[in-house]
A and B are shown apart, each in its own frame.
Chain A
């Protein structure tokens, strides 16, 4: 399974992988986010950050097609996803995998069955082969030997790992992570970050992460956008480390990136 995504990656290196164009998200008249535009390059670890309630997860839901934006478009390799017909949509859906906040494993299936579900649907593999591939994916996330466990029998950190294994089932070239470190102890959270980086290094997968965990943000992000609650749009973009170093960074972003501990210093610097 290695190789393929890398090759694909090299071939498409020129264009952006995901483009969000002028996206406006609203429930009725109530606007949640407006005029969001950004691009995710091939091989990026792209972090969508912002305070709780700033609409990070809502943006993710719009990018992966769970909600319809009021306006704008999301494209994958130049192909529109938001306005795609059913066949194109299905095709694009198979190109990305999503790890949900709680893992979202199907509780009536074992881990191997969870991972094998998309394989059974979209490939012509035999049951035995599906099981082998599923076991291999589980081994990749450190869950070797847990194939026949039910989700209720494993811990929270393992849920997330199994969620990643399932998201990777079809060797997608994009992985979405919704708050991956939420509810994990610091060590498990760091291990999950490392796992993400390793997967990216080996498979060349583009990774999009929604999070507000600062250690993760600084450890993994190559590019990012910052969503602001008040203006309801993106107020900073780029690598979080550079954001922190740059003098032009919006004070709100600086406050966020320093947990608000830097307030006095920031004012001195800009005052």
Chain B
């Protein structure tokens, strides 16, 4: 191969005497070396008078692949737009056959995928309607779960005990490491922020109250719930979404099993049972995290710190936190399972379902948290 043939492709467009536009190509015309711009040809085509026909001169061309084909096609399209005939006889045999193959089935204009361009108002409307429909689906799902729960209580619901215990392990013991880390750090951070402020008043002992009440009443449950939404809620959505893709849910249905009983109930129960336990564990770890600052940094005697904590936190606080955790558990499981069952039948749909499960779960947790705060305040708890 000559040096010229190996260098990047080059093109000149010039007029021959009879009004023919001759496009001369030289060098390598490959996708790897890159293709020169079409500007020269465009200029010549636009010039007045327009050329009668276009011909190619490939005398000095080196290597070529579908890069050349794409160039010739583009020239052809430009020429077709101006109704100028293109002489393909000088093109290599292989290229001519490729071009013939590509033009065998004419492009169909009406099959082109067109996204309707909605106006801003239109888009707001579409989103609102979708949200409205989603709300109804959610309510319907909650209704169905309630019915399934009724069947469970009457002993008619059917799922495998082994599946249930496995789910309990996954939602319980397997979550301990991440819950340990998060709640311990949250306790530490609370204590640290509080300590800096309380030290100015010489009231460092109240760090114990601050951490104890905050963790036991709110943060233990909320942090555990958010961890579980990201960890278990997403897993539920991905599991059920994948089962939908592989038609396992269809198979269950045609075997006469209700997917709700068989898949959703055990997940819901597992989370609903494990969340209070995880919450108690998180409470303890949070207080322990706070004590690290109280005892280590503020030099409070351990017995004083823990006594102060126990005096500040009432059993009602603890019960309230655990109750919240149980409710958050239901919310996380419901959003995970709902999004999983709503999932479409592709890999990206399963990803969307998992994302949506976490978002829905966290939103539900925060809304429920607000409702709890207001009602506890009204009830004087």
Contact = CB atoms under 8 A, between A and B. Distances in A.
Nearest to B250: A66
A102 interface: yes
A104 interface: yes
A48 B166 CA distance: 41
Nearest to B163: A108
Interface string B140-183: 00000000000000000010100100100000000000000000
B248 interface: yes
A166 B255 CA distance: 10
Contacts of B246: 102, 104, 107
A173 B158 CA distance: 25
Contacts of A90: 256
Nearest to A93: B256
Interface stretch (A6-14, A114-122, A211-219, A224-232): A114-122
A118 B166 CA distance: 20
Interface string A84-124: 00000010011010101110111110000000011001100
Given A108-B163, A121-B158, A93 B248 contact: no
B256 A100 contact: no
Contacts of B251: 98, 100, 104, 106, 166
Contacts of A118: 255-256
B163 A101 contact: no
A64 interface: yes
Contacts of B248: 104-107
B128 interface: no
A142 interface: no
Contact of B255 (A93, A101, A102, A105): A93
A102 B257 contact: no
Interface string B248-277: 101101111100000000000000000000
A201 B248 CA distance: 29
Given A102-B246, A106-B248, A108-B163, A66 B256 contact: no
If over half of A's interface residues share one DSSP class (helix, strand or loop), that class is named, otherwise mixed; here it is: loop
A65 interface: yes
A231 to B, nearest CB: 19
B254 A98 contact: yes
Contact of A65 (B160, B166, B254): B254
A104 B248 CA distance: 5
Contact of B256 (A101, A106, A122): A122
A64 B250 CA distance: 10
B256 A94 contact: yes
A94 B158 CA distance: 16
A100 B247 contact: yes
A60 to B, nearest CB: 10
A145 to B, nearest CB: 23
B150 to A, nearest CB: 14
Nearest to A109: B160
Contact of B253 (A65, A101, A107): A65
Nearest to A117: B255
Contacts of B163: 108
Given A102-B246, A104-B248, A105-B248, A66 B255 contact: no
A122 B158 CA distance: 11
A122 B257 CA distance: 11
B259 to A, nearest CB: 11
A96 B257 CA distance: 14
Contacts of A117: 160, 255
Nearest to B245: A102
Contacts of A101: 247
B250 A100 contact: yes
Interface in B213-250: 246-248, 250
Contact of A121 (B247, B250, B256): B256
B254 A102 contact: no
B130 to A, nearest CB: 15
Contacts of A61: 250
A204 to B, nearest CB: 21
Nearest to A122: B256
A26 B26 CA distance: 58
A102 B253 contact: no
A71 B270 CA distance: 41
Interface string A23-37: 000000000000000
A64 B254 contact: yes
Interface in A36-77: 61, 64-66
A100 B257 CA distance: 16
A104 B257 contact: no
Contacts of A93: 254-256
A96 B256 CA distance: 11
B247 A102 contact: yes
A48 B99 CA distance: 39
Contacts of A122: 256
Nearest to A61: B250
Contact of B254 (A66, A106, A108, A121): A66
A104 B158 contact: no
Nearest to B256: A93
24 contacts: A66-B250, A66-B253, A66-B254, A90-B256, A93-B254, A93-B255, A94-B256, A96-B254, A100-B250, A100-B251, A102-B247, A104-B251, A105-B248, A106-B248, A106-B251, A107-B246, A108-B166, A117-B255, A118-B255, A118-B256, A121-B158, A121-B255, A121-B256, A122-B256
Interface of B: 158, 160, 163, 166, 246-248, 250-251, 253-257
Given A93-B256, A94-B256, A102-B247, 11 more contacts: A93-B254, A93-B255, A96-B254, A98-B250, A98-B254, A100-B250, A102-B246, A104-B246, A104-B248, A118-B255, A122-B256
The 7 A-B residue pairs with the shortest CB-CB distance in the complex, in nearest-first order: A104-B247, A104-B251, A93-B256, A100-B247, A98-B254, A118-B255, A104-B248
